[in-house]
A and B are shown apart, each in its own frame.
Chain A
Amino acid sequence: MHDWRKDIHQVLREEGIRQIPYTPDNGLKDLIKLCEADEQMIPIPLANEMEGITMTAGAWLGGQRSAMMMQCGGVGNSINALSVLTTARFPFLSIITMRGTFGENNPWQIPMGQATRPCLEAIGCIVLELNRGEDATKVTRAAVDMAYGSGSRVALLLTQELIGAKRF
């Protein structure tokens, strides 16, 4: 069976991604493990998502590409920091697991899940979605190219159609 986590990791590896600032999420668990096991990559556990945003700018100033990983709740913590990347036109790639959308059981997750895309777009991020595991390689490569080829801010959302909704 297709493992989208391995496909995403493989593309990040091939595209020379080095720093992986992250806050953990259940949907990212195995992808983060793959990055931790990859000696090309430097996982950086974050205290909150805001710091991850300009950490990627520091990495870029120093010549390293990065891919930030977080759950969509962290997008709310990141918006103002993203203004730095937009203004100075830093490339930015993030991989974001969704809550509060397709099939969500927990009402507390709904507001930020529903606000994630509009917030990202309002601050100048391009939003891509991965809905089906078999598209992982193609969509991840598109995200990397748009971030590090065109120098854009790109958020790749791993939707709840892909990762499922947690049932309580």
Chain B
Amino acid sequence: MKTMPNRPAPSLDRVEAIKRLIGEPGDMLVLSGLSTVLSDVNLAVGDHELVFYVRGAMGCAIATGIGLAVAQPERRVVVVTGDMEVLMGAGSLSTAAVMAPRNLAVIVADNEAYGETGGQTSHTAYGVDISAMAEAAGFAKVMTVWNEDELEAARDMVRNTEGPVLATIKVSKAPYKRILPPSDGVHNCNTFRRALLGPEAIR
């Protein structure tokens, strides 16, 4: 097995970093992947009606974002997901690049660990570079953020740069504040559709 690269561990505070990137979401459509990012997104934009939490089936967050971005080309779609969830559905990097929705942004909270299952080492700890994978697939722009002073540029890219764009934010695997959103998917779907499409979208 490969030895791990000799470099500092990721140190960004995930809750604060994601708040910086997607806080005050305006009319953005936000999708959260499962596991740890559920809480991050909830803490950042939990009162925003245009958030859907893809709370099961690891690997499906970016794919959900492609369907939404294609359906709503005039609205910014931001997917927040984790490093191993991206790798589990890595084909979606290529599908996103091929469909090339200009309104799609992906944020990968990369803590180099399976944070939810005991902190086991993830592939990214060995140097697997998700931003480079997205760039090689054909994303319009990618960034990897190690320091707080790079977050402002990442916020601008996630919100404004023609997509598909992807920001990998290297976040600490230290214990963090955690408040999960409600788990009722039917209600979440209906609330989202009502806010986006109007009351006639609900039956």
Contacts and interface: CB of A to CB of B under 8 A. Distances in A.
Interface of A: 18-19, 21, 42, 44-48, 50-64, 66, 80-84, 87-90, 151
Contacts of A19: 67, 70-71
Given A51-B91, A51-B92, A57-B64, A89 B71 contact: no
Counting from the closest, the 4 A-B pairs by CB-CB distance are A62-B71, A58-B67, A47-B91, A88-B185
Interface residues of B, number: 39
Given A52-B63, A57-B54, A88-B186, A63 B91 contact: no
B91 A61 contact: no
Nearest to A80: B57
A90 B68 contact: no
Contact of B89 (A50, A56, A82, A88): A50
A55 B196 CA distance: 17
A56 B188 CA distance: 16
B86 to A, nearest CB: 12
Contacts of B193: 60-61, 63
Contacts of B62: 51
Contacts of B57: 50, 53-54, 80-84
B164 interface: no
Nearest to A44: B99
Given A46-B91, A54-B54, A63 B64 contact: no
Nearest to A47: B91
A63 B195 CA distance: 11
Nearest to A82: B57
Contacts of A44: 66-67, 70, 95, 99
A66 B67 contact: yes
Contacts of A53: 57, 60, 63
Given A63-B193, A84-B57, A55 B64 contact: yes
A130 B192 CA distance: 35
Given A58-B67, A62-B71, A45 B95 contact: yes
